[in-house]
Amino acid sequence: MCPHPSAVNWYASFGETVRRHKPELGQLISLETGKILQEGLGEVQEVIDICEFAVGLSRQLYGLTIASERPDHKLLETWHPVGVVGIISAFNFPMAVFAWNAALALVCGNTLAWKPSEKTPLSAVALHGLLLRAAKELGLDTEGLSELLIGERSVGEALVNHPQVKLVSATGSTAMGKKVAMACAAQFKRSLLELGGNNAAIVCPSANLELVVRGAAFAAAGTAGQRCTSLRRLIVHRSVYAALVERLVSVFARLPVGNPLTEGTLVGPLIDGRAFDSMQTALASAKGLGAKVHFGQREEGAGAGGSAGHYVRPAIVELAEQAGPMLHETFAPILYVVPYDDFDEAIAMNNAVVHGLSSAVFTQDLREAERFTSARGSDCGIANVNIGTSGAEIGGAFGGEKETGGGRESGSDSWKAYMRRATNTVNYGASLPLAQGIRFDI
């Protein structure tokens, strides 16, 4: 297999097609997931952005040449497609996560099989339809280029176990990722995992609290707390704790919760009743630990025309120390807040959870910012300064450590995960010297 000669034109024209349909696609995401229209449109923009990125990337799939220790020899790396790339995506980014994977996988010469979340089949049908339409408009034979597999968990299992699928890129819960990783390992198959996050931000004494409030509100309450990058833990220096919590509480009290398609709404409904229940369970458990809980209750009357959506007011939960539900990822808008006294202690708290996706520090102190982003700082795949934990640009590699799964998608050199590398030694001399000076004279 090699990259289809028209592949670059294909995703260039796919990106253009998606751009033309951005308003409808944004609305569809909003309708199906409950995220607000602005965020639905933002997600479609991510699809367009990664297509453009892939077009440029298609000219930059480079390998190294390496000096050989032997005369008249050269060493080089060549990169080849892996074959069929299986993509398992989650409900919360029903289009963008496919596109990050698809654009890179295709640019690297692979073909695709996509199993979207069973909660968001319509977004998948629409986006995949446009992908194939773009190919057909270019006169490409679409047979076997990309398959959409709508179905339950068993469909995902079949995908993971199919011998022709050489790489499985899975986005979703840690529990799902563990199963995928183990099934792939048993077949010596590659997996690329982008799983949960229990993301924290540290607020230092010198922090610009205006930035903190804006950054925390978007990261914790945006997408109704249902991003893997959502901010869940705020670790606040005791000197600014009271002032910050007061401001956050007053902002959360006013957040417009309601129909995600209505202009001005900032928080739409949760994806389903299970999400609502797990949020309430986490809040009850925090209360059991003596937490002070602000909001988090059902927002009565928020659904347009009495719709049965699960609308909640995002919660702020004050805890004396990091414990209980704060140590676990709950996929809902709960922002736990704890005080700290010492920066080392704050970094230790940031790192004290099983996930390692995103993190942030708010500070004007260069030493704290540098320390946080150094090897002795945050242990996450994303470590930000003076910006929230969510809303990454596509240009950087995206993913995290520990139970987040270790995979990297999207920008930078993430493409390497979608290819296999061969090291080539080429002898252009007339003798056969062996490496390490070994003599083997026959």
Instruction: Give the angle subtended at the CA of 89 by the CAs of 164 and 97, to the nearest 5°.
Output: 105
CA-closest candidate to residue 126, choices 144, 150, 153, 105: 150
Active site residue 228: yes
List 51, 108, 184, 228, catalytic entry:
228
Size of the site for ligand UN1 (CB under 6 A): 11
218 is an interface residue for ligand UN1 by CB under 6 A: no
Q: Calculate the CA 262 to chain-centre distance.
A: 26
> Nearest distance from residue 35's CB to ligand UN1, in Å?
11
> Nearest distance from residue 228's CB to ligand UN1, in Å?
4
Find the helix packing angle between 96-107 and 37-57, rounded to 10°: 10
Q: What residues form DSSP beta bridges with 262?
A: none
92 is an interface residue for ligand UN1 by CB under 6 A: yes
93 is an interface residue for ligand UN1 by CB under 6 A: yes
Using Cβ positions, the residue closest to ligand UN1 within the complex turns out to be 392
CA-closest candidate to residue 127, choices 24, 39, 30: 24
Compose the 379-408 pattern: x for residues touching ligand UN1 by CB under 6 A, - for all others: -----------xxx----------------
> Nearest distance from residue 220's CB to ligand UN1, in Å?
12
Residues 6 or more apart whose CB falls under 8 angstroms from that of 88 comprise 115, 156, 159, 160, 168, 169, 170, 171, 172, 176, 180
List 32, 39, 46, 194, catalytic entry:
194
228 is an interface residue for ligand UN1 by CB under 6 A: yes
Q: Between 111 and 171, name the residue whose CB sits nearer to ligand UN1.
A: 171
The owner of tokens 């596509």 is 394
313 is an interface residue for ligand UN1 by CB under 6 A: no
Q: Between 234 and 291, name the residue whose CB sits nearer to ligand UN1.
A: 234
- Whole-number Cα distances in Å, 82 to 108, 166, 202: 8, 6, 41
414 is an interface residue for ligand UN1 by CB under 6 A: no
Using CB under 6 A, which of the segments 10-18, 22-30, 227-235, 368-376 binds ligand UN1? 227-235
Sort strands 292-294 and 315-318 into parallel, antiparallel or unpaired: antiparallel
123 is an interface residue for ligand UN1 by CB under 6 A: no
CA-closest candidate to residue 126, choices 3, 20, 8, 260: 20
Residues in the chain: 442
> Nearest distance from residue 226's CB to ligand UN1, in Å?
8
170 is an interface residue for ligand UN1 by CB under 6 A: no
Q: Between 86 and 405, name the residue whose CB sits nearer to ligand UN1.
A: 405
171 is an interface residue for ligand UN1 by CB under 6 A: yes
Give one DSSP letter per residue of 71-96, joined into a string. TTEEEEEEEEE-SEEEEE--SSSTTH
Q: What residues form DSSP beta bridges with 65?
A: 76
> Nearest distance from residue 26's CB to ligand UN1, in Å?
15
174 is an interface residue for ligand UN1 by CB under 6 A: no
Q: Which amino acid is at 73?
A: H
Q: Between 102 and 228, name the residue whose CB sits nearer to ligand UN1.
A: 228
Q: Between 25 and 245, name the residue whose CB sits nearer to ligand UN1.
A: 25
Q: What residues form DSSP beta bridges with 234?
A: 201, 337
CB 340 within 8 A of CB 236: yes
Q: Between 83 and 391, name the residue whose CB sits nearer to ligand UN1.
A: 391
What residues act catalytically? 194, 228
In the complex, the residues that contact ligand UN1 under the rule CB under 6 A are 90, 92-93, 97, 171, 227-229, 390-392
